[in-house]
Amino acid sequence: MQRIGICYAVVVCLITYVRQLSSQVLLCLVAMLAYWALLSWGGSYEQHLNLLDKIDTAVLGKLAYSFDAKTGLAQDPEGLLSTAMAMMTVLTGVWAGRAMRDAQLLQMLAGAAGLILLALIWSAYLPFNKQLWTPAFVCWTSAWAILLLLTLHLLIIKRGWPAIGNSLGVNAIAVYAGAWLVTCLLAWTGWENAIYQHVFVAVLQKQTGEEFSSFAYAACFTLVFAAMAFVMDKKGWRIVI
């Protein structure tokens, strides 16, 4: 949640004071190239050896997502330096939203294709990596998000398909925060492992394998909050910031 807030605040300032799209794109490319240079300067992309983990260990320490008391090493998938690249992900979303508002659907398609090509080229030198939030990861995930948004726009707005995910979008913050609080509660009480082992692993793993049982647990967890959002939407309840 903190990362989302920081990213939105910075991007809002950026698009407010840098109005030209070409200038925004240039700044985005410069930021990604600088980030790539910093990662390369750090000497390694491996966990605890890369520059991001070193910074998080020095600054966040025990407050990081993962901290090893024996070695004093920390690791955070939403760490400090990688937040700069998360801002670039938000910025691509702004561009997509602007293009959709202006009915520039072909431009969205062309932009997504360009991002996919750039991601594939970049991944040969700096692979897709969510933990490091690499530029290739930014381009790749942004491109497919734009294509998904464009597809949903054509199906729902243009063809009139039902917007089955609308209730989740209306109360996105409530679902996001609620899911995280429940996850923490289940982990703290030990119920998370008990539910997973005794229900999903015991019932599904022998027939479908470990991967599907893990997927089924995540899908059921998501469906619970989707149902909650659906009820909230029907009752007209909104939780917003």
pLDDT digits (tens, 9 = 90+) for 230-240: 999 999 999 87
d(CA 214, CA 37): 37
Query: What is each CA distance from 79 to 13, 17, 57, 190, 227, in whole angstroms?
Result: 21, 26, 10, 26, 32
pLDDT computed for residue 227 by the predictor? 94
126 and 182 both lie in a single domain? no
pLDDT band per the 50, 70, 90 thresholds, residue 37: very high
- Three-class secondary structure of residue 73 per DSSP: strand
d(CA 172, CA 228): 11
64 and 135 both lie in a single domain? yes
* Residue 189 belongs to some domain of the structure: yes
pTM above 0.85, yes or no: no
The answer to whether the beta carbons of residues 82 and 3 sit under 8 Å apart is no
Which stretch of 57-61, 64-68, 115-119 has the lowest confidence by average pLDDT? Answer: 64-68
**Which are the contacts of 116, defined by CB distance < 8 A and separation ≥ 6?**
139, 140, 143, 144
The answer to whether the beta carbons of residues 112 and 147 sit under 8 Å apart is yes
* Residue 241 belongs to some domain of the structure: no
pLDDT digits (tens, 9 = 90+) for 180-226: 999 999 999 999 989 988 888 888 877 777 778 889 999 999 999 99
Domain membership of residue 70 as a residue range: 2-162
176 and 131 both lie in a single domain? no
In total, how many domains does the chain have?
2
133 and 103 both lie in a single domain? yes
* Residue 62 belongs to some domain of the structure: yes
d(CA 179, CA 191): 15
d(CA 226, CA 175): 8
pLDDT computed for residue 138 by the predictor? 97
Mean pLDDT of the chain: 92
140 and 193 both lie in a single domain? no
State percent of the chain over pLDDT 90: 71
pLDDT digits (tens, 9 = 90+) for 172-181: 989 989 999 9
157 and 176 both lie in a single domain? no
Cα 84 to the center of its chain, rounded Å? 13
pLDDT band per the 50, 70, 90 thresholds, residue 129: very high
